[in-house]
């Protein structure tokens, strides 16, 4: 194992040597940039923003106008109930003329009710 005071002394000496290399001139703020105002990064950012806006507009047009279910292309309404295949239908009598059970006679007494 290493002795801690020896390691600590070496670290302190290294930090002091490194700190002595920094001068007040190094701590001044950097001079403002000179030259072209529009750099390649700024142009690249503008082009990227324009392409992103165009892609968002194209996606909005696609989802709002070209997908099924929109007013331009409505989805057909499904049937109220699914048609059954192979199930027999209940028999219903064919419609016929309605025949009264009691026929009224002209000029006779009215039928008696029970």
15 vs 35 pLDDT, higher one: 15
Domain ranges of the chain: 36-75
pLDDT at position 27 over 80: yes
List Cβ neighbours of 70 (8 Å cut-off, separation of 6 or more).
64
Q: Which residues of the chain form beta strands (DSSP E)?
A: none
Mean pLDDT of the region 32-54: 84
pLDDT at position 1 over 60: no
List Cβ neighbours of 75 (8 Å cut-off, separation of 6 or more).
68, 69
Inter-residue contact 79 to 73 (CB < 8 Å): no
**Token duo for residue 81:** 């109930």
Confidence (pTM):
0.32
Pairwise CA distance, residues 42 & 48, whole Å: 10
CA distances from 10 to 2, 6, 17, 20, 29 (A): 12, 6, 11, 16, 32
Inter-residue contact 18 to 11 (CB < 8 Å): no
């Amino acid at each position: 194992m290493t002795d801690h005071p020896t390691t600590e002394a070496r670290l302190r000496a290294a930090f002091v040597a490194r700190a002595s290399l920094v001068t007040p001139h190094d701590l001044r703020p950097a001079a403002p940039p000179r030259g072209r105002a529009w750099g390649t990064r700024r142009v690249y950012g503008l082009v990227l923003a324009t392409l992103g806006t165009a892609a968002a507009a194209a996606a909005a047009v696609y989802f709002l106008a070209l997908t099924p279910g929109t007013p331009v292309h409505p989805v057909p309404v499904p049937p109220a109930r699914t048609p059954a295949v192979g199930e027999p239908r209940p028999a219903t009598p064919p419609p016929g003329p309605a025949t009264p059970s009691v026929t009224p006679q002209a000029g006779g007494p009215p039928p008696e009710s029970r």
